[in-house]
Structure 1
């Protein structure tokens, strides 16, 4: 749902396509190492850098300089962590996002007045008249995105395959990085949904009845805790348009917030350090203004991962067939909408050189003649 770019220091992704010899030299920098350790550390650094480069990551893992040469990096798990630090960050960023988001849906839905085989669910919260309403869900998802970005800051904090795709397309994020980010983001949502189910399984049994698991439009359906389902009155075109428009708004505003040349309300620095908070309000606003029709999934990782988990947990094939096989709409519409939102921002506002929109024929020349430079004096079209 969101993104925060790492664009400083030795971990700028735009250095990932530098000549191999330059990358290898940068990955072998060793300081304060004993002579006996230096060859070992250099060999390790070369291997780790090669693997990370193959995955499309920067050769150097984004870690603090003071931590880089500590002895525990010789341990097996430490080496694995160095290789996959950014995918791990995306995994846990999405995990945190879905925990807060799906958790808010679960609390609001399951605390409503219902009786089941195990008794009655209390609807009176201490000091209040209930355990939340629809706005609580908007708050939950907004907080989840903001906190997820903080967790995944070193990876870019994309948290959404469609957003990652657009940064590959419009901002030079290496395409080789996209598959591993997508897998990590999907698994983050998948695992988080399982944890939410384990936490709320007793409440689900009370709400629906022990062992009963249903999907909308059932009046006691709890499948909506995990993924989105459309209103019954929506046509397929309306389902798609609802997800398309929210995804378009998402990407357009993200690019505006990340545009350091856009003065906006923050001076000529984009949203800067306020970016996670700005994303909180963006997600809250999308939920508050556009959530009623389809639940504003706008994210494959947030919707498909938990949907698959709910299928495994016993909600059955209806998780795929509900809403006239609605499940594919958030997948496709999020990519189409985000791509369109990114196009609109770059076509009408953005002036930076890395966007293909700011090349001849709005990037089409790159597709037709990728071997030819688009700018005088440049060595390659990319």
Structure 2
């Protein structure tokens, strides 16, 4: 008899060599490496290599990948024209989804080419996704688009495109670690979406466009934007307790608290918490982290729930002066390495996803009544 599991909870849909989330223990692995071993010790580019090749690179291998990434940053002029002409009030995540789909119309290589060509497409997407987000932000604010540079890391290049200036080493390091922490997370909703589309032998751009659409949802990547909106609504640390009590009484969701898989502390959260504390100390604006800490304390005591990756990443991005509606696109920038790695893995041993469903509708045997007699 078929097993019904709403949301596919507890169902193993496929095998993967890329990542594992141990929710009960609060552990996250990338290709056998604990996230606590990677964060702060390796660059985002090293993690990209790790996900593509299932091993950390030596210096020569890292230089080769870094050179390949930086060589692919230029966007087709048609995509730039779209970013310049797109509605200024559109959600950046929607613009990103459409721009990625447009990139597919310039790329003739599809799933039926060899692995090296598919890998080249993956590298191109990892390289260009940050440019899309930054260029649209510049366009919507009426600013010129800075020229592409090939002497900056992925994190530094994004911040440079956002501001027109090379970021500080501290800002670069902060965003780089955030990228590392967000790169991979097993069969989450957006990654599974990408693999389902890829399993039909559609192209990588279609799979990634679908993944971005899944990430947009407030129960997935959109949650980090909700954290800042929540903090702004609360206003100050002295109002936290009353706000949380009222929210709990009304059974409102507290954004950034709890996780679908982790039953204990999200292992990524402490790294982001530490960065949030450091950034707010440097900026002299402590109220955001103070409010966050108090909310987290109340929710642990009252509900036994812990903060997740979105809870502190929101404060980190906010402290880097990144607009709130770009939080989810930054998530997509980091996760592009994981998404594309999963698409490549799906194609390596492809099996079309086709789950069953349990019919619970009207009884079988319904008869058609002529339309004039209904």
- Sort the TM-score into its range (normalised by shorter chain): under 0.3
The structure with the largest helix share of the pair is: 1
Which one scores higher on RCO, CA 8 angstroms, separation ≥ 6? Answer: 2
Q: Whose radius of gyration is greater, 1 or 2?
A: 1
